Structure 1
């Protein structure tokens, strides 16, 4: 160990990198991982002579960052090709903190990085399969997952679908849970990903990355570092320094005799197929040298030639050909374009060598951006979370496009995403494969890929691609040991500030990177939709204003109709009954593809009892018919009868989250708050970008006494979307119960004036200000504020018994305040009368007599007249 060489850093260098700043010592070579463990988490013997020891080369012909390992995903009887030696950790990785970092913002290597999209670290081409006798790495079958759940979370304990219910809803009976085949359930609406949009849907201002002039990116001394020279056949280190003599860039492997060459095959001034004029080297990677050239057949445009490092490397040839074929099928604005595939004779052997001709992408990789940010001391954690989400949304469009073409990307990571100006592009499609490919090696990166057992069986899939997207977002957002301690997990939420602040983002990442494939996202559009909802929550918190959007999964909430002011403010500030709480929640939208969708839409105005009779008489009920029947039965208080249609729906659509939704609503309607909370937790995990699960969870938490959690969920929903007025009243209700009247009033004041619930919110605010309050806690400002709120409602045309009764409550509170010996600092008015004893008594007499005239009950009328007589000003007559 030694002290860090960075100025001002107090860290200690461990395994080649500082344990505080994460930077490599200046002037030093990267140090191999500690003996006994590889970057991928496998144990290795201490004997460095073994072919599987980490000191051995990661792969034949690999370069700066040999993090990618080919894994086989073929039939179970065809063993995968084990690792060709343990991969070194990504450059700039510290023990326990694998976030990219390097001195001066570099990746820690001694080569010049390519401009933006041209940087090729060789990750995708890091190794060649070796025989099983050469490695101690063992692949195990994936363990069976509990796919009867829809969420990865285990705290609080979760129960499978259809947890014990009897017909009367008492909670006894047998479980009818079964395996799920589609954890996502019904997918949401989506739009085509073929057209380009702005980063972050135009909601996020992502700093643009200037386009880099390709001429300034040419390497002045194109040399492959000695530490990155390996035999393309056996993987033995070649071309290394001996006795202070520089290593050879060309020669023969001392182990197997295979010829090697690390010199560029093209030089400035060369012409490839009489079309491309070579201007110099830009970078080098696992597939070889990358050159800048001009295409003199097409407007002298800049192009990139991606050649082969070692023409004797058969695997590299095969990978390059695969990249060419896949790229030829791809046409998307967020994916690098391939133009051609050209050949040029090797200057030494005369054998034609292949070169992929692709577009030049001038910019920086996301890895470069985060390394620069940390090097400049702007932030030691990660990129701003809204910026990271903007990148994720744009990348998901590209990934979804590949999936629609039957392709898997396989190697999604920050290095392979380039930002140029205000656009990002995926580069390096060398790892792309067809979804049904069961033969070719799989190229992935430790720390971003799914467990090896999953890559072996069932093999790469759409959800394994989306897993890598989730891991990438996590790496960009905060520092954690994603290559070691948390190779297939995330740190606890409370230990990461950004996750502690944004619960929905935490749940999104945990679903995306769940160890069980069935519990992850299974569709890029679905994942993007939930991430968009999370982005709106994040922006609402950052910017202090709502960012609402219409849900594609839920109808609007069914909050009590208080728009006319006829609903008692006290009722709005009282915890709702279980049945009322359940009835207020939004309901899942009817699938328009369902055969009965049109008929069900026409039942909205029909009495619930008639809806039940109609749906129970259906001879061939559709899935949506069963859901509508269950929903109506729950609303009628017949929860036990609702279990049967839910079971029938679950049997036909296993894993559909709507089954779990109605079970949660059923628990809530019966007052089983703890059970409802557990189910809504599951739904929140599954739909982190939706407001409805948060509302249900808040109500369940409130009912169970977990008021702090309830307030947090109410606040998140209300801060993001002001259309969920029940969240405002719920939050105000909790703040009042906590004794914070000011906070309760502040929440009610955020109900927009254009909302039909604004009068109700203001009346509730008046109630909070003066009701059930000790006279000693009252002051002049509170009384005047309450009167002003009522006057504004009257000026807006809101008159009636409810406002008059509330005015009486304000006046009586003011009279009690005067009777206690308190007086206003200067003459004041309250509700069109002086704030003194005589003025208040006159006002109260008038108000009570007016209410008596409106009363329809004899006893009530007599009581109101008696109050008027009792409170009228005292006289001698």
Structure 2
């Protein structure tokens, strides 16, 4: 099986396309613009909730009049999409349906769905003239079972009514296969119908496993048809009507599955325009786009534009582009997981978390939807791949919260920097040096020299070297200047860092990396709220990443908002407990609120194979010993087991052991625990005599590790105070 070589993708080529990124093999050219027909579209629209416009406009610009650069928006997708849900969830395959079961026994458009194809006014009769604009309409199927179109397509019956008229099931008498025939145009002019067919020929070049195959374009009298592959599945909209809103994991799986189709369309210069649950289908164990009637070429100045109220982006009725499609995908996801008036009260907005508990429960999902459906096109995701990366991260978090951790290496950030087994200070406070590091963008012209610079540890020397590199590459290297700003923070030259970051922001106000380093600088200066605001901007851009959540937690803890900090720490730990800075951070925050059991659980989450495991065990033992109310025999045994799990040797281990045995003595003295020689604590029977002997022994061992004479004397005095009484 051939491996995909695009953007470090780890997928495999199957049926001519990567099963992961959805692209053809590296070296295979995408459709060239000169191969696409540039003729104008001239078609009319109709159908419930669907409208058309012939006007031309431009995409809105972003903040400060700047447009976002797509090249900065993504590092490429490496997430597995071989199965729906990226391997995070399992969905049963859907058996293929009998095509004949789709045929409507009485093909009639309900009165509530009859609307004028021009002005969208409601009409009551099945055919006639619109009372508002005078346009002729006809909702009666023009083709009947048994009709043969173009000499080979035998009509079996109508199966649906769409924006351009009836959709029929047909049988290709030449190639012996089922087909679906969808209307392109219905006029009184046969020549116009033939012209509409010719103008859609460019769609024949669209070939992708997640897009319905297009076989032919034909005209029949005054109608033009697109002849498509029959997909024997169920439309997502039908499932939505039958079951109600989807479980959030299932809905995301379907959206994640269809995004490679949009990546392909956009890369080839097409925009889909009218994506919604009606227009993609679950077939077997995969999803597929099934309606290509509204597809147009990006930048086409002519022709009508199709969209559906409640899904269509605000700018799309002028000039739909790739991000307009991404808007419709975000809207479709919202409709699939929430019951709300998306076409009326929330036509261009979303319910709030206060209105929808699901959004309150899953903050990352809410932020994803906010960015996907932002009114400003430049604030949205800028590519289908970028969108897929982030929604996969959101799905990973949702699944992890319900089941077990689902860690994965980020394409953008490293893990946190709390990995030194002796970094006690790093476990005791939210230190900016512990935040994950941004990975290098290898396309940057200074990347190679910056990578070699990683060996320079001395912070002052690092600053000097980076200043030279930044001067050498100038504005050609963003990485050199970003890392120089970070180095300035490391030596507390905050004003220099701020000046440099302001310059970079002026050059590109959409580069969220500037916000990341601004946040780090403010955090290092103790400005938790300011850092929180900057990290919040990063979170908006990267809702599927856990690094921004870690950073927000640090900032909230610095601001003494322990409740908010704890909520973000929890989410990080749920996804990846190897992020031990979050484990220690959560324990600190819960301890501040006297939730010692919760703090203990946070520390217990540190994996046994992690280098910080011993420090976590030491902190856990201390936490358990501080549980004043409720300490009993079981609590003593839990602390003993924790101490025994510490593989390191040192004074602190003996100190903990001694304090545990002292606690046992205190509990016996106040009657909370009874003596029981069958119970052992660190090898010492649960009795006053043996516990005193054990505590004395542990305090004397701790004295051997004392750093100075005063500390040694302190431990010896404690040993003498606890030792058994002598009557000799």
Q: 2:307 matched to 1:430? A: no
1:620 aligns with 2:472: yes
Look up the SS of the partner of 1:280 in the other structure. Answer: strand
**Partner of residue 76, structure 2:** 190
Q: Which residue of 2 aligns with 1:74?
A: 56
- Once the 2 structures are TM-superposed, how far is the Cα of residue 490 of structure 1 from its aligned partner? 0.7
Q: Please say if residues 808 and 848 of structure 1, whose CA atoms lie closer than 8 Å, have aligned partners that are also in contact.
A: yes
Deviation at 1:395?
Answer: 1.9
Distance in 2, matches of 1:354 and 1:847, equals 91
Following the alignment from structure 1 to structure 2, what is the Cα–Cα distance between the partners of residues 631 and 803? 37
- 1:824 Cα offset (Å): 2.5
1 or 2 for the larger relative contact order (CA 8 Å, sep ≥6)? Answer: 1
| Residues 1:555 and 2:414 are matched in the alignment | yes
2:67 aligns to what?
181
Within a 5 Å distance, the mapping from 1:54-133 to structure 2 comes to 65-75=47-57
1:640-679 aligned at under 5 Å gives the runs: 640-679=495-534
**CA positional deviation for 1:725:** 1.0
Partner of 1:476: 336
Listed as ranges, the matches of 1:379-778 within 5 Å are: 382-451=245-314, 454-455=315-316, 459-543=319-403, 545-559=404-418, 561=420, 563=421, 566=422, 568=424, 574-576=428-430, 581-606=431-456, 607-618=458-469, 619-621=471-473, 622-771=477-626, 774=628, 777-778=630-631
State the distance in 1 between where 2:121 and 2:724 align: 105
Q: Equivalents in 2 of 1:192, 1:785: separation in Å?
A: 42
Listed as ranges, the matches of 1:210-225 within 5 Å are 210-224=95-109
SS of equivalent residue, structure 1 residue 834: strand
Could you report, residue by residue, the CA deviation over 1:103-150 in whole angstroms, capped at 9, with x for unpaired residues?
A: xxxxxxxxxxxxxxxxxxxxxxxxxxxxxxxxxxxxxx97x76x2xxx
CA distance in 2, matches of 1:849, 1:437: 84
Measured after TM superposition, the shift of residue 663 of structure 1 is: 0.3
> In structure 1, how many angstroms separate the alpha carbons of the residues matched to 2:700 and 2:81?
68
- TM-score, structure 2 length as denominator? 0.86
Give the alignment partner of residue 181 of structure 2, picking from 292, 301, 305.
305
Alpha-carbon shift at residue 755 of structure 1 (Å) = 2.1
Pick aligned residue for 2:699 from 843, 848, 852: 848
- Give the equivalent residue in structure 1 for 2:144: 267
CA–CA distance in structure 2, aligned partners of residues 234 and 809 of structure 1: 82
Aligned twin of 2:25? none
Q: Distance in 2 between matches of 1:256 and 1:690?
A: 52
1:182-210 Cα offsets, whole Å, 9 max, x none, are: 277733332499x9731111222234333
Whether 1:362 and 2:232 are equivalent positions in the alignment is: yes
- Whether the aligned pair in 1 keeps the contact of 2:274 and 2:294 (CA below 8 Å) is yes
**Counterpart position of 1:51:** none
Partner of 1:327: 203
**C-alpha separation in 1, matches of 2:226 and 2:447:** 51
State the match for 1:156 in structure 2.
none
Match of 1:781 in 2: 634
Q: 1:320 to 1:286 in 2, by over 3 A?
A: farther
Q: Distance in 1 between matches of 2:111 and 2:725?
A: 104
Do 1:326 and 1:432's aligned partners in 2 also have CA atoms closer than 8 Å? Answer: no
SS in structure 1 opposite 2:385?
helix
The DSSP-based 3-state class of the residue aligned with 1:202 is: coil
Q: Distance in 1 between matches of 2:112 and 2:602?
A: 62
Deviations 1:442-473 (A, max 9, x none): 1111111122xx3466x222222111111111
Aligned length: 680
| Deviating more after overlay: 646-655 vs 388-397 | 646-655
Summarize deviations over 1:658-683 as a string: whole Å, max 9, x none. 10100001111100011111112222
- 8 Å CA contact 2:489–2:524 kept in 1: the answer is yes
CA distance in 2, matches of 1:864, 1:192: 55
Residue 809 of structure 1, aligned match among 659, 671, 675: 659
1: CA distance, partners of 2:159 / 2:496:
70
- Cα pair 1:319 1:430 within 8 Å, conserved: no
What displacement does 1:232 show?
7.1
Structure 1 equivalent of residue 32 of structure 2: none
Which residue number corresponds to residue 57 of structure 1?
Answer: none
- Contact 2:280–2:288 (CA<8 Å) still a contact in 1? yes
Contact 1:388/1:473 (<8 A) preserved: yes
Alignment of 1:146-157 (within 5 A): 147=63
Per the alignment, do residues 271 and 539 of structure 1 end up closer, same or farther by CA in structure 2, a change over 3 Å counting?
A: same
Which ranges in structure 2 are unaligned for 5 or more consecutive residues? 1-42
Q: Where do residues 9-28 of structure 1 align in structure 2 (5 Å cutoff)?
A: none
Contact kept, 8 Å, 2:48 with 2:114, in 1: the verdict is: no
Distance 1:258 1:688 in 2: 47
Match of 1:603, SS?
helix
Tell me the distance in 1 between the aligned counterparts of 2:316 and 2:135: 32
Instruction: Check the 8 A contact 2:513/2:538 in 1, yes or no.
Output: no
Equivalence for 2:212? 336
3-state SS, counterpart of residue 375 of structure 2: coil
From the superposition, tell whether residues 584 and 367 of structure 1 become closer, same or farther in structure 2 (CA, over 3 Å): same
Q: TM-score, normalised by structure 1?
A: 0.72
Q: Distance in 2 between matches of 1:671 and 1:252?
A: 71
Q: Which moved more, 1:218-227 or 1:698-707?
A: 218-227
Aligned-pair CA distance for 1:549: 1.3
1:538-574: per-residue Cα shift (whole Å, max 9, x none)? 111222x01111111112211152x3xx455xx5664
Q: Distance in 2 between matches of 1:852 and 1:784?
A: 25
Task: Evaluate the alpha carbon distance shift between residue 252 and residue 738 of structure 1 in structure 2; reply closer, same or farther with a 3 A threshold.
Answer: closer
Q: How does 1:226-237 map to 2 (within 5 A)?
A: none
Whether the 8 Å contact between 1:262 and 1:309 is mirrored in structure 2 is no
Query: How big is the shift at 1:849?
Result: 2.3
1:226-265 CA-partner distances (Å, limit 9, x unpaired): 676678789898893xxxxxx7x6x889999998765544
Q: How far is the alpha carbon of 1:588 from its aligned partner?
A: 1.1
SS in 1 for 2:359: helix
Match of 2:5 in 1: none
CA deviation after TM superposition for structure 1 residue 836, in Å:
2.3
Deviation at 1:821, TM superposition (A): 4.7
Aligned mates of 1:494, 1:873 — CA distance in 2? 62
State the shift of 1:320 in Å.
5.3
Deviates more, 1:355-364 or 1:180-189: 180-189
SS in 2 for 1:431: coil
Report if the CA contact (8 A) 1:725-1:757 is conserved: yes
Displacement of 1:318 in angstroms is 8.2
Structure 1 Cα separation of the partners of residues 620 and 78 of structure 2: 46
The whole-number CA distance in structure 1 between the counterparts of 2:435 and 2:195 is 53
